[in-house]
Amino acid sequence: MNRFASLSAVIVAIVAFAAPSPADAQRKLEFAPYAVPAEGAVAVVVRQGAPMEGAFAEVDRVSGGALQRAVAAAGFIGDRGVMLNLPGVGPYQQVVLVGVGSEAASPRLLEDVGGLVGQAAALSGAPRIELLWPGTDIAMAGGHLAMGASLGQYTFRNYRTPRPGAPVLGQGELVLRVADAEGARRAWTAQWQPVAEGVRFARDLVTEPANTIYPESFVERTREAFRDVPGVSIEVLDVPAMQALGMGSLLAVGQGSQRPPRLLVVRYRGGGRDEAPVAFVGKGITFDTGGISIKPSLNLWQMKYDMTGAASVTGAVLALAKRGARVNAIAVAALAENMPSGTATRPGDVIRTMSGKTYEVMSTDAEGRMVLVDAIWFVQQRDRPRVVIDVATLTGSQVTALGDEYGGLFTRDEALAANLLAAGAASGEDLWRLPLHPSYAKDLESPIADLRNGGSTARAGAGVGAFFIGSWVQEGVAWAHLDIASMAWRDLPVLPTVPLGASGFGVRLLDRYVRDHVETPAP
Ligand code: BES
Ligand code: MN
Ligand code: ZN
């Protein structure tokens, strides 16, 4: 390579892998003892039908009744999840009201409150916003508020050119005024900030378009994120390495693209020496055109998010490693770009997977299961995990079945089902269990190979896809498949902790699963 070429390669690398620009700085989270400030920007929680209590009453008094008049004019009564953003109330620069309904406080409610305030804070020019939470009934309330605030204020404006003279929004501080400020700060730093960083990592990668995130740049971003995180080792398989292992299935998906595929393995050791790991395997299609079975062009741009599973499992292990979880956990990202070209896999092709099992390609658009089975086989052979959970934007059928309320859960293991459903409810990333009926085997029969990669479109598509993947799971391994096609990208209405766009769905869920059901308790 001549000097100019290598120099331009360096420049491209810097542009592609640059850290988020200051345009994406989020507000710094601070903690302070509960008190009602006499000016500035404040966020106040309002219980349904009971506005004249606590911080609201105090802010109203300081503002000479202006707050109550504004609230009456707006018809705001504190319904759960409703936010009222009032600029200039008496001496206050801004008052953000967050309705919490009449439900008792819970960690999930606190995260939602934090999330709504975070969303308002991201659009505010106030240098300092103070969220007032007088309650003492939830331990470490501030940690949950902070988690919500961090997730809610997520924005991605790296490619927006700032308008000259326009104020920069969403910068400065977000102060959480809570009863136990010190305890909240500790809970945030040790327990929740790592998870928020895992979600941010996933959202950033998913939001990036496919001209910046492709298998190799996904790997570089991951190396960058894990730099200096203790207990972690990273292994990357390139094309020759995958050929040597016989990974014909992952390679078949990548072979139509100019961007070569990769298998990325992040291993975190925080548990016992001889403890079998839990393995999280993510679908990492950096762009899914459908391949030769090409997709229609409507909304095709969204298929940049077809690597959400890979981003989420990697983000989850980032969270576990950063909080020093007492577990051995592995993230496997099966990375490829699914493109049509003269070298692309064709419908009808027969593929030999790493396991030796073969299948006939019905559709090159059923590529998620193709990359996953080699990744799952690899981690089973290499690491002997006791649990394998794969995460994938696998089927349109899951979207039709569950909408944007639930990810689809498929497993034959009752204990794993119960644990994942509980982790979903606790984390705010809900799952709904769907069947793996034995009859789906019929849909996957091929006259010339061991299997085929899809059945009739009139059948249970999400279940058939799950069944295909399950055919590569070894005896004695507890396996679950999460089809998150409907959850990866948020359209309206947004949720308090999930702004428009990339959700990072799976990071909070898998962290919660490990926290509540896998991790060995501290001695
Ligand atoms: N990435 C898609 C699934 C998808 C669809 C994710 C919509 C998010 C939103 C996947 O690779 C796909 O194309 N699946 C096919 C499978 C079929 C060909 C068996 C589908 O669902 O139609
Ligand atoms: Mn596809
Ligand atoms: Zn896909």
Residues 117 and 258 in one domain: no
Residues 113 and 162 in one domain: yes
Residues 233 and 133 in one domain: no
Residues 175 and 274 in one domain: no
Say if 392 falls within a structural domain.
Answer: yes
DSSP conformational letter for 156: -
CA dist., res. 6 & res. 260, Å (int): 19
Say if 230 falls within a structural domain.
Answer: yes
- Ligand 1 atom at minimal distance to the Cα of residue 465: 19
Residues 146 and 44 in one domain: yes
Say if 363 falls within a structural domain.
Answer: yes
Residues 101 and 166 in one domain: yes
| Number of structural domains found in the chain | 2
Per-residue pLDDT, 103? 85
Which tokens in the block code for residue 39? Answer: 């000016």
Instruction: Identify the domain boundary among 179, 197, 221.
Output: 179
Note if 203 is an active site residue: no
Residues 151 and 255 in one domain: no
Does ligand 1 have an atom closer than 6 angstroms to the CB of 428? Answer: no
Say if 436 falls within a structural domain.
Answer: yes
Instruction: Identify the domain boundary among 179, 198, 226.
Output: 179
- The CATH number of the domain where 510 resides is what? 3.40.630.10
CA dist., res. 199 & res. 195, Å (int): 6
**Residue pLDDT tens, the chain, 523 long:** 344 444 444 444 444 444 444 557 799 999 999 999 999 999 999 999 876 888 999 999 999 999 999 999 999 999 999 999 999 999 999 999 999 999 888 999 999 999 999 999 999 999 999 999 988 888 788 999 999 999 999 999 999 998 898 888 889 999 999 999 999 999 999 999 999 999 999 999 999 999 999 999 999 999 999 999 999 999 999 999 999 999 999 999 999 999 999 999 999 999 999 999 999 999 999 999 999 999 999 999 999 999 999 999 999 999 999 999 999 999 999 999 999 999 999 999 999 999 999 999 999 999 999 999 999 999 999 999 999 999 999 999 999 999 999 999 999 999 999 999 999 999 999 999 999 999 999 999 999 999 999 988 889 999 999 999 999 999 999 999 999 999 999 999 999 999 999 999 999 999 999 999 999 777 7
Does ligand 1 have an atom closer than 6 angstroms to the CB of 443? Answer: no
Per-residue pLDDT, 49? 80
Say if 192 falls within a structural domain.
Answer: no
Q: State the residue range of the domain holding 63.
A: 22-179
Compute the half-sphere exposure of residue 127: CA atoms within 13 Å on the CB side of its CA: 2
Per-residue pLDDT, 23? 57
Residues 315 and 371 in one domain: yes
CA dist., res. 200 & res. 4, Å (int): 35
The distance between the two most distant Cα atoms of the chain, rounded to a whole number of Å, is 81
Note if 283 is an active site residue: no
Instruction: Identify the domain boundary among 179, 200, 219.
Output: 179
Does ligand 1 have an atom closer than 6 angstroms to the CB of 60? Answer: no
Dist. CA 118 → ligand 1 center (Å): 33
Per-residue pLDDT, 55? 93
Residues 163 and 238 in one domain: no
Residues 227 and 310 in one domain: yes
Contact 121, 85 (CB under 8 A): no
Say if 10 falls within a structural domain.
Answer: no
Say if 190 falls within a structural domain.
Answer: no
**Given ligand 1 and candidates 287, 301, 390, 394, which is best to mutate, with the most ligand atoms within 8 Å of its CB?**
394
Per-residue pLDDT, 73? 95
Calculate the dihedral angle through the C-alpha atoms of 349, 350, 351, 355, rounding to the nearest 10 degrees.
Answer: 170
Say if 422 falls within a structural domain.
Answer: yes
Residues 440 and 357 in one domain: yes
Residues 467 and 327 in one domain: yes
- The CATH number of the domain where 34 resides is what? 3.40.220.10
CA distances to 65, 264, 316, 351 from 16, rounded to whole Å, are 52, 19, 23, 34
Residue of 295, 326, 433, 459 with catalytic role: 295
Contact 183, 136 (CB under 8 A): no
